[in-house]
Amino acid sequence: MKLVSQVLIPLVCSSLLPAQAQNVSQSLKEGFVHPGLSHKLSDLERMKYMVKQKKEPWISSFTRLNNVNSFGRCDYKVRGSQSITTLDATNRNNYDKFKYDGMAAYHNALLWAITGETCHAEKAVEIFNSWSHLTGLKSGGTRSLDAGRVIWKMLEGAEIIKATYSGWKPADIQAFSDMLVYPGYSTTTVPEKAIKQQQVTFYWNMYNGDPGRHGNQGLFGFRGIMAMGIFLDNHTMYQRALRYLKGESHPDDDLPYQAGPFKVSDKPDKTTEFFDEYKIRTPDSAADDYGFNEQISHYIWPNGQGQESSRDQGHALLGVSILVTMAEMAWNQGDDLYGFLNHRILSGLEYFYKYNLSYVHKYDDQPIPWEPTAQNGEFLQKKDRSGRWYSKEINPYFENSTAKTSRGTMVYAEKAPIGEMALGHYRDRLGLDQDKYLWTERAWQLSIDKTGYYERAGTQVDHPGWGGLTERRAPMSPGDPVQLNQQNNQLVYQTHLIPGTIEAEDFDQFATGGEGHTYHDSDPQNHGGAYRPDEGVDLYQVQGRTYVGQVNAGEWLGYTVEVTSAGTYTINLTYQGLASGSKIKIMLGKQDLTGQVSLPATHGKWSTLTLVTGVKLPAGMANLRIYFSGKDQAIRPDAISFK
């Protein structure tokens, strides 16, 4: 059976360039954004520019990744070989080789993107090619976890390399892609015999999660499915993971999800102070798409309590961490899992961190450890979705053992580096009130204070890692910079460079709509209907020129820019002044570059006006904003240039 997903071939490039321009406006988008797992092209550019300018925390995190981490090296010794055809998760040997190679592929891909050193890209390609012949994965029963745990970082690296480097040959990309779904991808037929004989690789070990177990185990698989769908340009596969997390039915053109509910024993097979565990007997196949512990609503309960809170605290955070990484992938493809069920993922983080952090550190508003109980109404006693596990009390120990505590051990970023990614969204993108992410931010800050450094790799392939480099967003830039690829009439995630010209219509993109985040417009309709019709900014296109029209006082536009070198600049505006009385002001972060500048009428002609000369700009990345005031609808901005 052949892989039916189209594999896109990278364009020839001598430096970090997008392999294919991807439209990010929802009404125009065709295909996926690439690279588009945890990092878009603009994210990689942010890392590169911040490191070049030696900005903190990017430079410290990069230095540690580059100098201390043994996986991100051009001389890394690849563990994969043609003699290994089956990964064996039961004895760990070959399995761990794949895991370490996946770490090395991802780290080398990052370093290629940041430094442009070809040896890193070549090393990543060597790793991918060394594993392209796999035909099986042997598991002791946790198939979804075993497959998903090791494939994610490998795919993160593969996505970056495929989208930015021309040296990975098309035939080798196809071989790697075919390996992921061996013995072949299908939306109608499950290779039951091959699965039973463990002669399948990744997709068929993950496609239905792990409905009979704790949520983190199935979530590992669905994270792998989501990442694989993006890498393979397979919308059905991507939607399989996305829809399942949201509790929706399977895609119409795909296999159903696991039926349920399960039948369980009448009495618990195991009883502890913290939980009762029941034995699952036979599945009840009366209802397809039943939905088990991996779904967000079943893994994080309405009060923020995690399905595994009564198991131990390491696992309680693990599943939420996986959901954060999946939410970041989905956001990069224009889908909002972060906000699902009123920010349920954030509620899970806050519940975990409050319970664990208050145990190891005192705060004025929480001087004693927080103890959620059934009696005070802050702990829910209930069965999980599988029926296998009944939560009775939150567990500060390790499942069955009370010899050692798990409480408070996972709040530090060297073990579970997830704070930067979560805060990068809820704090820096959305700008939520601090009380919404209070405990997540406290844990992140305490970790930095205690260790003296920013996030490291964490527990190898479980968590994202290196967040000070990869996830820290540019100051005051909630959105992502985009530019129009004129040839394909598509937007690409690419940073605006100063000196240079910024087209007014290329304001930053925000996945759920930029109003209040990357622009402010007085009404939600794009009255011009051009270019980015889903946005509220009024965009017009006449004779090949795209411009902003119907500008009203109080409106603004935002752009993420990189000032490539500190210096003195002249700022010009190209516009059409329909009448006198309009004013404009340009800010770079908190620096007022122009003051209020009155714009004279141009009598219906396009004109370029010097707004200011001799303005000093510091090097680095920042948010540029253009504010409009004065007379309504008297100006049509076209472009701003810095010389």
For 59-80, how does the pLDDT look when each residue is reduced to its tens digit (9 = 90+)?
999 999 998 889 999 999 999 9
On the question of pLDDT at 93 being above 90, the answer is: no
**Comparing C-alpha atoms, which of 31, 39, 113, 125 is closest to residue 78?**
125
Q: Specify the range with the lowest mean pLDDT, choosing from 92-101, 104-113, 153-162, 227-236.
A: 92-101
Residue type, 436: K
* Residues 537-565 pLDDT 10s: 999 999 889 999 999 999 999 999 999 99
Q: Mean pLDDT score of the chain, rounded to an integer?
A: 93
Alpha-carbon gap, residue 220 to 217, rounded angstroms = 5
User: Structure tokens of 329?
Assistant: 């992938």
User: Structure tokens of 470?
Assistant: 């990869």
As a whole number, mean pLDDT of residues 112-116 equals: 98
pLDDT of residue 17: 34
**Comparing C-alpha atoms, which of 151, 44, 26 is closest to residue 87?**
151
Give the number of other Cβ atoms within 10 Å of residue 115's Cβ: 16
User: Structure tokens of 117?
Assistant: 């050193």
DSSP structural state of residue 435: G
Alpha-carbon gap, residue 206 to 174, rounded angstroms = 20
As a whole number, mean pLDDT of residues 33-52 equals: 97
On the question of pLDDT at 314 being above 50, the answer is: yes
Q: Which residue has the higher pLDDT, 8 or 70?
A: 70
Q: What is the percentage of the chain residues whose pLDDT exceeds 70?
A: 94
Binning the chain into helix, strand and coil, the percentages to the nearest 5 are: 30, 20, 50
Q: What is the percentage of the chain residues whose pLDDT exceeds 90?
A: 88
Alpha-carbon gap, residue 372 to 304, rounded angstroms = 11
pLDDT of residue 42: 97
* Residues 375-427 pLDDT 10s: 999 999 999 999 999 999 999 999 989 999 999 999 988 889 999 999 999 99
For each of the domains in the chain, give its residue range(s) and CATH number, in order of start. 482-642 (2.60.120.260)
Alpha-carbon gap, residue 373 to 394, rounded angstroms = 7
As a whole number, mean pLDDT of residues 612-631 equals: 97
Bridge partners (DSSP) of residue 484 are 491
SS3 at position 547: strand
pLDDT of residue 284: 66
Q: Name the band, by pLDDT with cuts 50, 70 and 90, for residue 10.
A: very low
- Could you tell me if residue 387 is left (phi over 0), alpha (psi between -120 and 50 degrees) or otherwise beta? left
